[in-house]
Amino acid sequence: MQGERTRERDVGFERVNERVARITIPLAFFSVPVNVHVVLAERPLLVDVGPRTDEALERLGAGLDRLSLRLEDVADAVVTHHHVDHGGFLSSLVERSRARAWVHEDDLAQTLDVPGEIRRRAARYREVARLWGLSHEDVAGLARNYEGYAVYGGTTPRERLTPVKDGELLAIPGIRLRAIHVPGHSEGQIVLHDEDANALFAADCVLERVTPNPTVYIPPYRGRTTGLGDSLASLERLRSLPRDVLVLPGHGAPFRGLHARLDEIRSHHEERARGILALLAERKEATVVSLAREIWRGLRSEAVVLAAREVHGHLDILEQQGSVAREERDGAWMFRRAT
Ligand SMILES: [Zn+2]
């Protein structure tokens, strides 16, 4: 969730510099278009590929055409994380080109078989939503939404995909792209540091105006059900990058000032945690959803899910720190201040 959302411009195509171009693709399920970055390395490379829609196919074709390229010329495609806005088009890309695809090993299964993984995870997602204290009606709505994402991705043959590890320098000729594993928004999200150009393909790890939402880990990942703790640690990892790095985010325009943005996101979360503790002090106990509705008044039911993911994340961290206690009652988590 974010404090304020400024509408990101749908520029269609933008030449960022000699090396990189940005193609924006509108999304049916999110007000902010997603970026596909074209990198003119020795051979054309894409960072993220967009959702599997006719519009994405059209936009990619038109954008590549501005660079005198065709989809068939794409030699490599790095998918920063498995979400359909970033990786959904991969199955179509590998059908239309000989591109090699790269994705972190922890997002591999979800990227390879988008509809199958969504189907497999939906039941467990419903369970988590009930634990948040979401009404039956809202749980049904959430499940419908979640299962609806399946159409924006396909299945990709395993042999077309190379798994990436943290710290790896990708074996792509003519470019030194270092992968940094930044879990939290998904299990296997990576950002890529182009070491020669000092540019950071920042995926959804750090955006200029929006605070990326922590994911729900299904099944639990490294022992946790929420990605917020990992997200905060991932942001800290980026502090070791050069201060003047050019940030090329997954949504929105390129920007500089990575470290100032990291500070802002950190203080946003610190403030949120204090707010949650203050609310819990006033009330004997509360569910994730009741806290979310109190923090963000007048939430529409789709937005409740995003709010609940953030509150769930904070409560999980506060519980680990010993400030909050959790009890499961009638299928929902009840939280209170630990004494
Ligand atoms: Zn995204």
Phi, psi of 322 (to 5 degrees): 90, 10
Helix (H, G, I), strand (E, B) or coil at 281: helix
> How much is the average pLDDT of 57-67?
98
**What's the 33 CA to ligand 1 centre distance in angstroms?**
9
Give, for 328, the enclosing helix (H) or strand (E): strand 324-329
Q: What is the pLDDT of residue 7?
A: 60
Q: What is the pLDDT of residues 15-28, one digit of tens each?
A: 999 999 999 999 98
> How many residues can be counted in the chain?
339
Q: What is the radius of gyration, based on Cα positions, of the chain? A: 20
Ligand 1 centroid–CA 226 distance in Å is 17
For position 1, what pLDDT does the model report? 35
Query: Could you read off the pLDDT of 181-205 as tens digits, one per residue?
Result: 999 999 999 999 999 999 999 999 9
Ligand 1 center–CA 251 separation, angstroms:
7
* pLDDT, mean of residues 310-335: 96
Ligand 1 midpoint to CA 30 (Å): 9
- Which residues are in the CB-under-5-Å shell of ion ligand 1? 85, 204, 250
Contact between 145 and 306 under an 8 Å Cβ cutoff? The reply is no
Token representation of residue 304: 């409740």
Where do the domains of the chain lie?
13-115+153-264, 266-337
- Angle of helix 301-321 relative to helix 114-132, nearest 10 degrees, comes to 70
Task: Please tell me the predicted confidence (pLDDT) of residue 5.
Answer: 46
User: 35: Cβ–Cβ under 8 A, 6 or more apart, which residues?
Assistant: 22, 23, 24, 25, 48, 248, 249, 250, 251, 252
Q: How far is the CA of 190 from the centre of ligand 1 (A)?
A: 12
Output the CA 4–ligand 1 centroid distance in Å.
17
E strand or H helix at 302: helix 301-321
Quick check: 311 and 263 in contact, CB under 8 A? Answer: no
Average pLDDT for residues 30-56, to the nearest whole number?
96
Q: What pLDDT sits at residue 30?
A: 82
Residue 138 clears pLDDT 80, i.e. is over it: yes
Cα of 41 vs centre of ligand 1, distance in Å, is 24
Whole-number Å distance, alpha carbon 84 to ligand 1 midpoint, is 8
Q: pLDDT (tens digit, 9 = 90+) per residue, 323-332?
A: 999 999 999 9
35 alpha carbon to ligand 1 midpoint, in Å? 9
pLDDT digits (tens, 9 = 90+) for 218-272: 999 999 999 999 999 999 999 999 999 999 999 999 999 999 999 999 999 999 9
Give yes or no for residue 4 having a pLDDT over 60.
no
Question: Who wins on pLDDT, 211 or 39?
Answer: 39
Please spell the DSSP secondary structure of 34-46, one letter per residue: EEEEEEESSSEEE
Strand partners, 34: 25
What confidence category does residue 3 fall into, taking pLDDT thresholds of 50, 70 and 90?
very low
User: 13-115+153-264: which CATH topology?
Assistant: Metallo-beta-lactamase; Chain A (3.60.15)
Matching residue, tokens 């948040």:
132
**266-337: CATH class:** mainly alpha
The encoded tokens of residue 248 equal 């090329």
Cα 250 to ligand 1 centre (Å): 6
Residues 6+ apart with CB under 8 A from 297: none
